[in-house]
Structure 1
Amino acid sequence: MGADDSLPDDVTTLQAMLRAERAARMAAEAEAQAGTLLIESKRSSAALLNGA
């Protein structure tokens, strides 16, 4: 957040913002994990093809 960003004063809006931020973070973490698993799978396949 930049210096110009302000948070609302009401709790309900803050809670909604927090839930949205958590959901976005969890989605990003899941995507990163899926990418890591894909890379590991490709590495394993390459190793098998190369006879390692």
Structure 2
Amino acid sequence: MHPLLPMTYLVDGPRVAISGDSSGRLLTHVGVPAGVAPLFLGCTALAVRRMRV
């Protein structure tokens, strides 16, 4: 289950950066949270809007 959660990539990203891994995994560890954040922010904005109306 943990490969589907964005927190996994947030924790492993600094590990990859510190170790100097050049396999391109750092882009994945940055891209997944950056891609998921707008989705979660949009869902939060919709929920707040529903509660106000």
TM-score normalised by L of structure 2: 0.53
More helix by share: 2
2:47 counterpart of 1:38: no
Of residues 14, 26, 34 in structure 2, which corresponds to 1:22? Answer: 34
Q: Which runs of 4+ in 1 moved over 3 A?
A: none
Counterpart among 3, 13, 16 of residue 7 in structure 1? 16
Q: How many residues align?
A: 38
Counting aligned pairs with the same residue, the percent is: 5
Take 2:25 and 2:39, find their aligned partners in 1: how far apart are those partners? 21
| Code of the aligned partner of 1:32 | T
In structure 2, C-alpha distance between the alignment counterparts of 1:26 and 1:11, rounded to whole Å: 27
Q: What TM-score do the two structures reach when normalised by structure 1? A: 0.54
CA shift, 1:29, in A, is 0.7
Long gaps (5+) in structure 1:
42-52
